[in-house]
Amino acid sequence: MSIEPQVSEERTARMALGMLIEPGCRELGVLVRSVGAVEALARVVGGFGITEQLAGAVRARLRAAGVQGSANVGEQVAEQMGERAEQLGARIVTAADAEWPVSFDDLVRASREGNMLRRDTDPPMCVWLRGPLELAETLERSVSVVGARAITGYGGYVASEFAFGLAERGWTIVSGGALGVDVTAHRGALIAGGKTVAVMACGIERAYPAANAAVLEQIGAEGLVVTEWAPNTLPHKTRFLTRNRVIAAASRGTVMVEAGSRSGARNTLGYARLLQRSAMVVPGPINSAMSVGCHIELRQPGTVLVTRPEEIIEEVGSVGELATPIQGAGRPEDALDPLQARILDAVHARRATSAEQIAAVAGVSGRDARRNLPLLEELGFVVSSVDGYRLRSHPRAELGEEAGR
Amino acid sequence: MSIEPQVSEERTARMALGMLIEPGCRELGVLVRSVGAVEALARVVGGFGITEQLAGAVRARLRAAGVQGSANVGEQVAEQMGERAEQLGARIVTAADAEWPVSFDDLVRASREGNMLRRDTDPPMCVWLRGPLELAETLERSVSVVGARAITGYGGYVASEFAFGLAERGWTIVSGGALGVDVTAHRGALIAGGKTVAVMACGIERAYPAANAAVLEQIGAEGLVVTEWAPNTLPHKTRFLTRNRVIAAASRGTVMVEAGSRSGARNTLGYARLLQRSAMVVPGPINSAMSVGCHIELRQPGTVLVTRPEEIIEEVGSVGELATPIQGAGRPEDALDPLQARILDAVHARRATSAEQIAAVAGVSGRDARRNLPLLEELGFVVSSVDGYRLRSHPRAELGEEAGR
């Protein structure tokens, strides 16, 4: 399949820009949206029409890449990138490609509307991918599952169950490939035979953290490993935060499983809210430090508390994908009218009493008691004898009492 | 202090009505609001202008009380009640008394606006009290703490901590005197030397459940035991539900601690919402059956998640009683601008690297790196040597990394 020249030029420019400038850069995003990627690349490489800070950063990158400042610098960079991708069994995808998810472009809005943490939040210029799945299609029905690295057994249980349950129902699990909630969620999806996408904050060739090397390998073989950063890029704190915006943008909603008060997962949830995605949080014990961040978020308006995969799907799915309400088993007593319920309440459990005694206890007339007790007997609630009525014993009496108060 | 004749008449009528008709009765409430308590009593005793169902119930009660149908039936009943109260060391309070809490009258609105569970929700006609405190004043700054009887260790911990913390800050704890959350909350308040009110669903003389006899005795000696029901009345399922409306109305807000999906505490919380009181819920583990009811409620709009007594006071207290936000210790890095933070991220932890190498890793210009690194050294983040810069080791590095992602 041949690529049209303009498409190819656009693609080349976006690849080179993704390499030469740290991802998320708002100045670059504004420039590309104003003059197009091809012209933006020319200005960036030539160092004109851009701030000195950006120009300086580009010069440093060009030096590091060993590319000489000449007319076809962009092509040289993109060519290097393509070769490197091939070596690594990866591919590069830009907004000029069919595989590009339009959901990423919602980050333009985030960049414009609010700059959380004084940070650049523009959409990626390009992403590096490893894995057999098609990116846009894979993210079509996806949920991001995020949380702390230092999770408790509870957090591990929840991440695993939710990811498994969502993947089993055909939802892709997006996460960050880190220890704790991330890797547990990825694994849950893989175990369910479902799809999972790891959005990394370092070069595509890196297994970071090393403890997750095997899982990341498996994701690259069955799911998708995604990153905005060129090979050899190291993960750094600010890159994790920049990466988080992509985790939030990629999916229809973000679920936070366990998080301390300062967890980076709260940053991802903030992006989800900013992008008008569903911001979902799993509660936990109030005396668990790893749920403090969850509860702070749940006290914010617009955060949805979730306890089951079905409730997540109700949030992010199409109209009509409603969770079945949780209900205890329906009790036969629920069918009684208030008068009958009151009379039934007044019937002694073991000792038979007369309809008049029952009426006095219930605070109803003797006539109402005499009229309704035979009905209650017919329905199996009471049994009669010569002494009057007593409750028919049934095993759920204890449960019923708990529910009644 | 002498009581004015009308006040005395009104009081007598309300006492008698409270005795002759099961509490919460909407038909009676409407009648009293329309013709006054004195005339309402005359009609109720005479059996005219009321439904046959109500008239029949009253006849049964009069028979049970052994009172003859004559002109002064109301006075006879009230006199019996007064004598009985004195015997039991109790007192009876009606809307005609100074001690009556106006908050009870909000139940008129609940009765009018929505009839949850097809149930009568009118205000009490009178309440029986045991204890040294003044009812209205005691309820002025109060919070209801409700929940399941079959609590877990977690629920017990939360009920105890919250009640203690609220009582310590001068808030009265209202609950239902039952096993589980109720008795734990009452105890927490007593231990703090605070005030607590037990709203019962049976006669004032009954220790129900028997296991709580000692605590109920202590509440009667130091706090207040309250009930709408005359002595000898047994607690029944429907009475618990009717009683719940008073627990919700009595306080400024209701906190649900632990509750299964069918718990009666959900009914109390529903009344709180209906009465435009604060409906607060403590979350728990999603795999705990005793938190399922809490999470169902937390998914309803208008429910507030609470994790600390301070957050409860923020809800129910006066303007300005705000909870201190939960924050991890502030980190020095938070003061850095994005460029400085990015450069700091690129500094190696143990090995010194040049400003140019750091600039390349950070994706910034060499000039920006050279300008900002000495500042970062001055701030104590990095140390310099002839080989360049490395991070200054400090103990919080691990924590910082967790927070950063």
Check pLDDT > 60 for residue B398: no
Specify the pLDDT at position B322: 78
Query: Is the residue at B323 inside a domain?
Result: no
- Do B340 and B219 share a domain, yes or no? no
Query: Is the residue at B325 inside a domain?
Result: no
Q: Which domain does A339 fall in, by range?
A: 332-404
3-state helix, strand, coil in chain A (%, to 5): 50, 10, 35
- Do B116 and B31 share a domain, yes or no? no
Interface test with chain B among A67, A258, A286, A308, by most B beta carbons within 10 Å: A286
DSSP, residue by residue, B89-103? T-EEEETTSTT--GG
B96 min Cα distance to partner chain A (Å): 25
How high does pLDDT run on average in chain A? 89
- Do B155 and B290 share a domain, yes or no? yes
Check pLDDT > 50 for residue A405: no
- Do A312 and A374 share a domain, yes or no? no
Interface test with chain A among B162, B200, B247, B286, by most A beta carbons within 10 Å: B286
* CB contact at 8 A, A174 and A250: yes
Which residues from chain B sit within 8 angstroms of residue A348, using beta carbons?
none
A144 half-sphere exposure, CB direction, 13 A CA radius: 32
- By percentage, how much of chain A surpasses pLDDT 70? 90
- Do B299 and B158 share a domain, yes or no? yes
Which residues from chain B sit within 8 angstroms of residue A149, using beta carbons?
402, 405
**Is B405 close to A368, i.e. CB distance below 8 A?**
no
Identify the H or E element spanning A98. Answer: none
- Do A27 and A94 share a domain, yes or no? no
Check pLDDT > 60 for residue B1: no
- By percentage, how much of chain B surpasses pLDDT 90? 66
DSSP, residue by residue, B219-277? HHHHSEEEESSPTTPPP-HHHHHHHHHHHHHHSSEEEE----TT-THHHHHHHHHHTT-
Least confident of A92-96, B3-7, B390-394: B3-7
Query: Is the residue at A389 inside a domain?
Result: yes
Neighbours of A131 (CB within 10 A): 23
- pLDDT tens per residue across span A73-108: 889 999 999 999 999 999 999 999 999 999 999 998
The mean pLDDT value for A135-160 works out to 97
Check pLDDT > 80 for residue B7: no
The mean pLDDT value for A125-154 works out to 97
Q: Which of B59, B326, B403 sits opposite A292 (nearest CB)?
A: B326
Specify the pLDDT at position A397: 39
The mean pLDDT value for A174-183 works out to 97
Q: What chain B residue is nearest to A358 in terms of C-alpha separation?
A: B60
Helix spans in A223-347 (H)? 237-250, 265-274, 292-298, 309-316, 338-345
**Is A338 close to B120, i.e. CB distance below 8 A?**
yes
**Is B287 close to A157, i.e. CB distance below 8 A?**
yes
Check pLDDT > 50 for residue B93: yes
* CB contact at 8 A, B39 and B136: no
Q: Which DSSP letter does residue A326 get?
A: P
Three-state secondary structure call for residue A356: helix
- Which pLDDT band, with edges at 50, 70 and 90, does B120 fall under? confident
Check pLDDT > 70 for residue A234: yes
Specify the pLDDT at position A404: 42
A217 min Cα distance to partner chain B (Å): 21
The mean pLDDT value for A203-227 works out to 96
Specify the pLDDT at position A67: 79
**Is B328 close to A282, i.e. CB distance below 8 A?**
no
Check pLDDT > 70 for residue A119: no
- Do A128 and A54 share a domain, yes or no? no
Three-state secondary structure call for residue A127: strand
The rounded Cα B75 to chain-centroid distance in angstroms is 37
- Do B160 and B194 share a domain, yes or no? yes
Q: Which of A337, A342, A405 sits opposite B149 (nearest CB)?
A: A405
- Which pair of tokens denotes residue B1? 């202090």
- pLDDT tens per residue across span B296-335: 999 998 899 999 999 999 999 887 777 877 765 456 666 6
Domain boundary among B263, B287, B316: B316
Specify the pLDDT at position B105: 93
- Do A352 and A386 share a domain, yes or no? yes
Check pLDDT > 90 for residue A139: yes
- Which pair of tokens denotes residue A61? 């990158």
Check pLDDT > 70 for residue A136: yes
Number of domains into which chain A is organized: 3
Q: Which of B56, B119, B178 sits opposite A405 (nearest CB)?
A: B178
**Distance between CA atoms of B256 and B273, rounded to whole angstroms?**
12
Q: What chain B residue is nearest to A241 in terms of C-alpha separation?
A: B405
- pLDDT tens per residue across span B150-186: 999 999 999 999 999 999 999 999 999 999 999 999 9
A67 min Cα distance to partner chain B (Å): 14
Specify the pLDDT at position A107: 93
**Is B326 close to A240, i.e. CB distance below 8 A?**
no
Q: Which DSSP letter does residue B329 get?
A: P
**Is B176 close to A405, i.e. CB distance below 8 A?**
yes
**Is B402 close to A307, i.e. CB distance below 8 A?**
no
B260 min Cα distance to partner chain A (Å): 8
Specify the pLDDT at position B400: 37
**Is B260 close to A328, i.e. CB distance below 8 A?**
yes
**Distance between CA atoms of A60 and A20, rounded to whole angstroms?**
9
**Distance between CA atoms of B44 and B22, rounded to whole angstroms?**
13
**Is A237 close to B176, i.e. CB distance below 8 A?**
no
Specify the pLDDT at position B338: 74
- Do A365 and A392 share a domain, yes or no? yes
B3 min Cα distance to partner chain A (Å): 31
- Do B179 and B196 share a domain, yes or no? yes
Check pLDDT > 80 for residue B75: yes
CATH code: domain of residue B202 = 3.40.50.450
Q: Which DSSP letter does residue A305 get?
A: E
**Is B298 close to A295, i.e. CB distance below 8 A?**
no
* CB contact at 8 A, B133 and B223: yes
**Distance between CA atoms of B135 and B226, rounded to whole angstroms?**
9
- By percentage, how much of chain B surpasses pLDDT 70? 90
Domain boundary among A316, A349, A384: A316
**Is B364 close to A120, i.e. CB distance below 8 A?**
no
- pLDDT tens per residue across span A287-307: 999 999 999 999 998 899 999
Which residues from chain A sit within 8 angstroms of residue B156, using beta carbons?
none
Three-state secondary structure call for residue B381: coil
Which residues from chain B sit within 8 angstroms of residue A304, using beta carbons?
299
**Distance between CA atoms of A259 and A297, rounded to whole angstroms?**
10
**Is A285 close to B56, i.e. CB distance below 8 A?**
no
**Is A402 close to B53, i.e. CB distance below 8 A?**
no
Q: Are strands B382-385 and B303-305 parallel, antiparallel or unpaired?
A: unpaired
The mean pLDDT value for A347-363 works out to 86
**Distance between CA atoms of B64 and B19, rounded to whole angstroms?**
11
Q: Which of B60, B119, B307 sits opposite A364 (nearest CB)?
A: B60
- Which residues lie across from B356 on neighbouring strands? none
Domain boundary among A56, A81, A106: A81
Specify the pLDDT at position A69: 60
Query: Is the residue at B326 inside a domain?
Result: no
Query: Is the residue at B75 inside a domain?
Result: yes
Which strand ranges, in their side-by-side order, compose the sheet holding B303-305? B91-94, B126-130, B224-227, B196-200, B172-175, B142-146, B253-256, B278-281, B303-305
Query: What value, to the nearest 5°, has the Cα angle with vertex A178 and ends A176 and A181?
Result: 85
Specify the pLDDT at position A1: 46
Query: Is the residue at B171 inside a domain?
Result: yes
Q: Which of B64, B265, B365 sits opposite A60 (nearest CB)?
A: B365
Query: Is the residue at A94 inside a domain?
Result: yes
B136 min Cα distance to partner chain A (Å): 25
How high does pLDDT run on average in chain B? 89
- Which pLDDT band, with edges at 50, 70 and 90, does B403 fall under? very low
Cβ–Cβ pairs < 8 A, chains A and B: 228
- Do B201 and B348 share a domain, yes or no? no
Query: Is the residue at A324 inside a domain?
Result: no
